[in-house]
Structure 1
Amino acid sequence: MEVQSIKELLVSVPNGQVVIVKGWVRTFRSNRFIALNDGSTINNIQCVVDFETLGEDLLKQIATGAALEIQGSLVESQGRGQKVEIQVDDLIVHGKADPETYPIQPKKHSMEFLREQAHLRIRTNTFSAVMRVRSALAFAIHDYFRKNGFYYFHAPIVTGSDAEGAGEMFRVSTLNPKTPPLTQEGEIDYKQDFFGKETNLTVSGQLEAEAYAMALGKVYTFGPAFRAENSNTSRHLAEFWMIEPEMAFYDLQDNMDLAEDFIKSIIAYILQNCKDDLTFLDKRLQDEEKVKPMAQRSEMGLLERLNFVVENSFIRITYTEAIKILQNSKPNKKKKFQYVIDEWGADLQSEHERYLVEKHFKCPVILFDYPAKIKAFYMRLNEDGKTVRAMDILFPGIGEIVGGSQREERLDVLQNKMKELGVEEEELWWYLDLRRFGSAVHSGFGLGFERMVQFSTGMGNIRDVIPFPRTPQNAEF
């Protein structure tokens, strides 16, 4: 007989048909009622057991966390909260869970405790819901690009360039760390390393994706990225996932249009396909908001926020317009911002981005035309000579969720920008070749996947939306 998922059974018409389910015990009460979950849905199915018939020895083996196989009749439930239940005829214990030592008991656990149990936290309602939404978002992303004529491109994870110019990268080396070979100048001789040069884990697949866009038209990456930033905030990870589309013949306007449509599409997908999980997470967020001071509470619930993004156009303003708004804002005038905005050219911080989104406009915002001095070398210089065709999408509760730009397609301008910023042409000779041979207007952006999952689930810390978070001093699992 075929094993059925609990998700399927919960919407079945009960007529006493014999079914088989396999899953884990969430709760066991009155020595009779087992709440079983198999991961297919946030909802459990109640299994009613008569241990006088099945044997008292089995009773001693049932506890929260135990893995069971159950065969029985699917009938209309006599209790509240569920339409169907299983009258158990046979029960097999595949794996016991000692109630004295099993960490995930049916009670409220702190997020900090659950991070220490990252291998087991997926068995809680919160994390199973988050990870199902994460999976659905990943599918929606691939599906969107497939339907819109993009090719999936696998960018290299080991790279010899720093796309962002941040310098906070993880080195990849096979040299002996205690006695590495040295040059005559006393520096590490990377010519003797595995790749013959200094290499790192990538922070972005953008530069390589540009090469493929200039032949395939529209490509996207969806892979891991790494940043050796010694940050312990709720917004940063050392290992994370990035979605980076690159499009030939797209200008900044096209880029913004695509990014907005893309985000709305993937959120619409989870609203349609993750209703139970999002309803649970919405209720969870409401409960969390109730214990916050009134001034810190969100004005929208999770479902309301997701629907608002899908149904409304994003506000688009220039960086210059944003600076004027921020300069004239009450938090700035009263010096309540940690970083007071004094003049044009300031690099916006999360507090500024969230003010624009959450207080001023109260909707997602796209900022564009940033000062060249605070943006990367590859962004196209505007005619004013001081701004570049960059764009960031800002979301409530998150701040920047997308960063992108129209890329500089002019060889001479790009070379001058690299020289100004100290980017070696020898390291990126191949990138310059893209401007020498068949150059064209092109654009792209990067979406931090975990920030998207964080927004979509209402979780307060980015460490709780990735299976095994990698942060400073933490690579336990």
Structure 2
Amino acid sequence: MGPLQIKNILQTSPENQSVTVKGWVRTKRESKNAIFIALNDGSTIHNIQAVAEPGQFSAELLSTVTTGSCLKITGQLVESQGSGQAVEVKIDDILVYGTADPESFPLQPKKHSLEFLREIAHLRPRTNTFSAILRIRHALAFAVHQYFNDGGFFYLHTPVITASDAEGAGEMFRVTTLDLNKLPRTEEGAINFKEDFFGREANLTVSGQLEGELGAMALSKIYTFGPTFRAENSNTTRHLAEFWMIEPEMAFFELEDNMNLAEDFVKKVITYALIHCKDDLNFLQNRLAEEDKNKPQNERSIPLLEKLSFVVDNPFERLTYTEAIEILLKSKPHKEKKFQYPVGWGIDLSSEHERYLVEKHFKKPVILTNYPKEIKSFYMKLDEDGKTVRAMDVLFPGIGEIIGGSQREEDYDKLLGRVKEVGIDPENLWWYLETRKFGTAPHSGFGLGFERLVLFVTGMSNIRDVIPFPRYPKSAEF
């Protein structure tokens, strides 16, 4: 079981009992009457204070107790004499596991910029901000698995290496064992992938959806939760080259069922974080409030807990893409030409359009449905008009689209037609098409980028700060 964690010790009633505390020093300060050491082991946002008397330990030992050093402290758990904590440890013994040279240790007790902390991603989990984010990330991941397990879903592990492009985007990382200095060539001069490890072109997956559909056609309800990759040369605050995707696929679910599941899912998962991550969320809310003090009133963000309650407490507004375009065309920002991007039927809505619908018009989360087929993927079920598909996107405040999904096309001929229409070779998807020939059924699913969810729940502004070791263009350091 290991040593008792600081989280548990802080909740223990002090009766002068002996305790052993292990962790990293956040601060050390000395006065005429006492030496105070703040220790943290990552189990909670809160430190435990350990107190020693002057002269109790040698100057040589105390010189190694600096911010960042790792200690084992044994002592008596007593009621705290100071404010800010209920208990503290009266030190009997200190063992230094590892020192941290104050001259070179970069995490000194002061404010550090997020940009600087990205450069030391191997150490940033020791800060309050990033330890809080990682604990919340864990809680959300646990809640995801719990939700689907309790709902009768089966966890399906889909391939990381694939020969298909589920999104049709073509921005994929190639997987190969070929010697790049001596590439085998065909008679026509093209690279001969028949000599590669898999005997064909292979890439890192952009989605587990297509394989997930295969599982749903046998197990009825499955979900995937795994890494996905996009070789998109993007340096925005919303994009990563490696991220985690949650993708449920459900047989016998139609568009309405899909929307109901998506709404219930995000509400339950966020509620779990609100219940189990109170201290970390309060810390992050206070952090955001401090940042907002330097901003104009109209640029300040909604308090974090209020924003999360906004999603949990409100029924999501549901309307079609066509209805949303009509609202946007009549909107004040459009009439006054304040939107950066134009509005018109057939456009792929930008974040500013999505956020206007959520934050200004409806003042609640929104689910948009029935998008033009030209701006959506080939696998989405065609509506009867032949112009739109049974897509559904969930839009959140401050972030825009957080979930994208659809009812999948179960008709073989219609799906084959769409595959050809978008320029995909049907031979590359023969196995996917065959599910529409052998016992096809209505089915639906959606995808949620996990980091987008963590970004929303933590209130952070850059997606690179909600994954332990971010991957983006020109960065794969850690």
TM-score (norm 2): 0.98
Find the residue that maps to 2:439 and give its secondary structure. Answer: coil
Matches within 5 A, 1:264-275: 264-275=267-278
Matched residue, 2:427: 426
Count how many residue pairs are aligned between Structure 1 and Structure 2. Answer: 475
1:28 is matched with which residue? 28
Matched position secondary structure for 2:435: helix
Partner SS, residue 197 of structure 2:
coil
Q: SS at 1:323's partner residue?
A: helix
Distance 2:52 2:369 in 1: 62
Amino acid at match of 2:66: A
| 221-230 or 25-34, larger mean C-alpha shift | 25-34
Counterpart residue number, 2:400: 399
* Contact 1:51–1:58, Cα closer than 8 Å, also in 2: no
* Residue aligning to 1:14: 14
Structure 2 counterpart of 1:312, from 311, 314, 330? 314
Aligned to 2:127: 124
Aligned position for 1:102: 105
What SS does the corresponding residue of 2:312 show, helix, strand or coil?
helix
Within 2, Cα distance between the matches of 1:332 and 1:476?
43
What letter corresponds to residue 331 of structure 1 in structure 2? P
Distance 1:152 1:2 in 2: 30
**After the TM superposition, which of the residue ranges 388-397 and 359-368 deviates more from structure 2?**
359-368
Report the secondary structure of 1:426's partner residue.
helix
What residue number does 1:254 align with? Answer: 257
Question: What aligned pairs does 1:31-70 form with structure 2 within 5 A after superposition?
Answer: 32-70=35-73
| Residue pair 1:226, 1:240 contacting (<8 A) in 2 also | yes
C-alpha distance in structure 2 between counterparts of 1:470 and 1:82, whole Å: 39
Structure 2, unmatched stretches of 5+, are none
Q: Does 1:140 align with 2:146?
A: no
Is the CA contact 1:379–1:388 (under 8 Å) kept in the aligned structure 2? yes
Q: Deviations over 1:323-382 (max 9, x none)?
A: 1111122222222222111x2111111111111112222221110100011100000000
Shift of residue 445 of structure 1? 0.2
Q: After alignment, is 29-38 or 437-446 more displaced?
A: 29-38
Matched, 1:301 2:303: yes
The correspondence of residues 208-357 of structure 1 with structure 2, limited to 5 A, is: 208-298=211-301, 300-341=302-343, 343-357=344-358
Query: How do 1:358-397 residues align onto structure 2 when only pairs under 5 Å count?
Result: 358-397=359-398
Greater shift in the superposed pair: 19-28 or 303-312: 303-312
How far apart are the structure 2 equivalents of 1:375 and 1:43?
A: 46
The runs of at least 4 consecutive aligned structure 1 residues that moved more than 6 Å come to none
Q: Which residue matches 2:446?
A: 445
Spell out, residue by residue over 1:110-130, the C-alpha distance to the aligned partner (whole angstroms, 9 max, x if none): 010000010000110000000
Moved more, 314-323 or 300-309: 300-309
User: 2: distance between equivalents of 1:98 and 1:451?
Assistant: 37
For 1:203 and 1:130, locate their aligned partners in 2 and report how far apart those are by CA, in whole Å. 25
Secondary structure at the counterpart of residue 427 of structure 1? helix
Q: C-alpha distance in 2, partners of 1:362/1:93?
A: 54
Q: Deviations over 1:270-291 (max 9, x none)?
A: 1110110011011111112222
Residue of structure 2 equivalent to 1:413? 414
Question: Quick check: 1:379–1:389 contact (8 Å CA) kept in 2?
Answer: yes
Q: 2:158 aligns to what?
A: 155
- Structure 1 residue identity aligned to 2:319: I
How far did 1:2 drift? 6.5
Q: Structure 1 unaligned runs (5+)? A: none
- The amino acid across from 1:11 in the alignment is Q
SS at match of 1:52: coil
3-state SS of paired residue (2:289): helix
Q: Match of 2:307, as an amino acid? A: R
Give, in angstroms, the shift of residue 295 of structure 1: 2.2
Aligned partner letter, 1:12: T
The Cα RMSD (Å) is 1.1
- Taking the aligned partners of 2:236 and 2:221, their CA distance within structure 1 comes to 34
Match of 1:189? 192
Amino acid at match of 2:27: T
Give the residue type in structure 2 aligned to 1:168.
E
Q: C-alpha distance in 2, partners of 1:355/1:292?
A: 21
Deviation at 1:292, TM superposition (A): 1.7
1:173 to 142, 152, 176: 176
**What secondary structure is seen at the aligned counterpart in 2 of 1:428?**
helix
Could you tell me how far apart the structure 2 residues matched to 1:409 and 1:353 are? 29
Give CA-to-partner distance per residue, 1:184-213, whole Å, 9 cap, x none.
111111111110111110000000000010
Question: What SS does the aligned partner of 2:413 have?
Answer: helix
3-state SS of 1:135 partner: helix
Q: Secondary structure at the match of 2:448?
A: strand
SS at match of 1:181: coil
Q: Do 1:3 and 1:19's aligned partners in 2 also have CA atoms closer than 8 Å?
A: no
State the Cα distance separating 1:294 from its structure 2 match: 2.1
Secondary structure, counterpart of 1:137 in structure 2 = helix
Secondary structure in 2 aligned to 1:240? strand
Deviation at 1:51, TM superposition (A): 4.9
Does the 8 Å contact 1:2/1:20 carry over to 2? no
Q: Distance in 2 between matches of 1:229 and 1:336?
A: 29
- The one-letter code matched in structure 2 to 1:160 is A
CA deviations over 1:396-417 (Å, ceiling 9, x no partner)? 1111110000000000110111
Aligned counterparts of 2:263 and 2:38: Cα–Cα separation in 1: 42
Cα shift readout 1:101-149 (whole Å, capped 9, x = no counterpart): 0001110000100000100001100000000000000000000000000
The more displaced of 39-48 and 348-357 is 348-357
Aligned in 2, Cα 1:2/1:327: closer, same or farther, shift over 3 Å?
closer
Q: Which moved more, 1:347-356 or 1:399-408?
A: 347-356
SS in 2 for 1:172: coil
Tell me the alpha carbon deviations over residues 450-469 of structure 1, each in whole angstroms, 9 at most, x when there is no partner: 00000000001000000000
What percentage of aligned pairs have identical amino acids?
66
TM-score (norm 1): 0.98
